[in-house]
Structure 1
Amino acid sequence: MNNKSMKIIVRYIIRIIFIVFIVLAINYSLFLFIIRYSPMAKEPTTTVKIIAEELNGDNKQLTDKTTKVIQKNNLWVQLVNASGYVIYSYNEPDDIYNYYSINDIAKLSKSYLNDYPVYLWESGRNLVILGYPKNTISKYNWFIPTNVINNLPLTLVVIMLMNLIITIILSIILSRKLTKPLGNIIKAISSLKEEQEVKLKEKGIFKDLAENINETSEIIRDKNHKIKLRDTAVSNWLTGISHDIRTPLSMILGYSALMEGDATLSEEVHSQARIITENAVRLSDLITDLNLASSLQYQLIPLNLSLVKLSSIARKAVAKGVNSGILKNSSIDLIIQDESASALLDEALFLRAIINLIANSAKHNKQGCNITVTVPNTNEYDYVSIIVSDNGSGIPKDKIERINGYDYFNAWINKSNGLGLVIVKSIIETHHGQMVIESEKGKGTTIVIRIPAG
């Protein structure tokens, strides 16, 4: 059972216990209210005591207030002397005695007389009998041992604890039946967040919710299937286009090379042939970049991971920049502050990213700039970094936003930007890293790459 389900069960039990005590308190209050404000609410012993006090004298008369109470509740009163004769009565029924023997008095002690509930009270040397209508009061004789009364506080505590334990047990049983499907629903929602397919049983109190989750899962599955078909179609289309372009492009490069090397042609034709070659090479590079961007986007490139030192990557990238001629009018520096910094990388792919950054700086600063590749000594335990910076013209803010927006094809369509930085960002994110671009127009660009440490 996970923590979420346990929290739900605990809250559920607390609420059930709270509700049980609230219900008991309400029931107890209602019981007291009914007893207090019922027509017979006034305690009979109090009434008979008042009557006995009023009849304890020579006058033998009840007050108007008392007679109104008797009439209102259909009571009756008798005053019996020591000889058993009734010397005063008020509102007595026809089936009540006018004389009471010792046996009759004994019957009165059992609280009933001819099914009339009665209450007795001494009035001097006389006896007051207060009678209630039949079937209005239930009287019981309780016989409780003294030790039970003495242990009553402890008994009540034990009963309360037993009730609490029973409530908790029942709450746990009910909560398990409630939280089991609820736990499945929570797991299903978490899976939906990851766009994983789920299938819940559509029954019980959460039937409607389960149906909606299952429908949502089907919608996500269909959407992902359509996206996969679309991505496959786009990837296949790009692959086909690239293949179709490369064949005539190879012929163009071949013929332009022949024209450049043909001594019989004029210098003007040689110049035109060089232009054709340069643009054909540029087009070939664009096709390569487009294929790489597409493969990265659709995760078609398997990574050949190994533990690689960033200092090695930095040195190879700088050497490639110097030897390949991509620097043109720019210069390059290498700063290694941490020789031990390493990460799990596809070395060829990651090296391509750093070379792309160097080439990008040189390409967009035709007047020349100073490029610096740094492996810093960071204080981070989980990440290592490599930084490529320049003091060139900088990158406009809108282009940085476009790169960060991960919009491959809009970036490619923008000729002034190309796919260089977009490919770099894709490679870094494929390695679960981050690329942060800091640039200000006219003040250069700094690109920080953070990769999980190996």
Structure 2
Amino acid sequence: MKWKITARYLISVLSIVFIVIFVNTFILIGMLFYQQTRGIDEVSSDSGETFTREFNKYFSLENGQPVVSDEGLEALHAFGGWLQILDKNGQVLSSALAPNNVPTHYSPIELVHKYKYMDDEFNTYFIGEFESYSYLIAVPNSKEERAVFMVDAESILSYATKSLIAIIIVDLLIAMLVGLLFSTVLTKPVSYLIDRISQLKTRNFSVQETKRPGIYKPVFANLNDVSKTLQTHEEERLKLENMRDEWISNVSHDLKTPLASIQGYAELLRDLDVSQIERLEYAEVIERQSIYMKDLLDDFNLTMRLRNQDMPLTLQETRLESFVREIVIDLLNDPQFGKYEISFTSASPDLKWNIDRHLMKRAILNFVYNALIHNDETVAVTIRVTADSISIEDNGKGIAERDLEQIFERYYRGTNTENIRGTGLGMAISRDIVEAHDGSVSLSSKVGIGTAVEIRLSE
């Protein structure tokens, strides 16, 4: 995979270089062609050659001799040159604006020499023709210089072709070298990225540190964050699967006993020899077991909804002191718990929380029920409202340290809860209710001293 990416990158770089060379060559040839066909006349419209060719319009013949008009003399003066008119033998017939030391006769070789090269006074010569006469226009210190080249077209074409091929080869080699270096830097992290994504696909969520990530550093950082998140979700998923399996197992187990009782007593009711009193007793057992099964299923449904955050809360601003006091009064008025020592204290009469009164009452009652039914009748339970929490404390048996971490697990019963009836979901439900309010529950206990539960809600 790494070499495939590198090869594709190199091909892309070489393609770009080849296209650039081709386009540049095409533009260069086009510019040269344009200059040859149109560019010289346009660029050189004010050159000495053009001025000299067009200067013959200022000539006229008088008595068979060429004469320059006044307009021509002004143009010649403005151009900064001087003029000599020659006959067909090279003899100077007349001059205009010429220095005194210029020749009065020119041989053909002298004319060729002066046309091709400057003279010692740095005059540049241009030659024109009018009728059967010739004329020289010389420009001192002209900005134009004449250069003579001897060109072998075939040699130039061959040399240009070889040079172009050499340039293309060298450019492609340089591009390949540079592309290889850059591709090593750029594609190596990409290869790591592909490997990391493949690992995530195979559910390998381990966090890995990449050396020299280069410009992909933020991508690797985000991948590590994704790995952490997926790892957390994976752990949560496994935990939920274990809980689900445990729930199914425990619910099946807890339902078997009441179902067996219901089935057994239902079979006894069919016995014609059973007295009316026994029938009532059997019916009472069936009813009690049915109520237990209903409570178990209700608790199971509630804890599932709380766990999946599918339980809408009806929040009301509630003064905790009066709210908790009413719960304590109801407990004391309940014949089942009236014999217990239950007390209430408040250090914050104005403390208010936004709570679902029905669910929070159930959570508090579950904590109190656990304190009462898991201890002797001599246990004393104290419910307190402090400045920022509600606490339920007892002086009962306490909970072994090995049981503390699992006390909120569904269906978990500690080592001191033998033969205690209940669905086993009370503590888990209470914890989930508090957490649904964005709160937290902390529990501390010592064997032989007692247990304390503290409820806090975030502000």
Question: What is the TM-score of this pair, normalised by structure 1?
Answer: 0.44
Question: What is the TM-score of this pair, normalised by structure 2?
Answer: 0.43
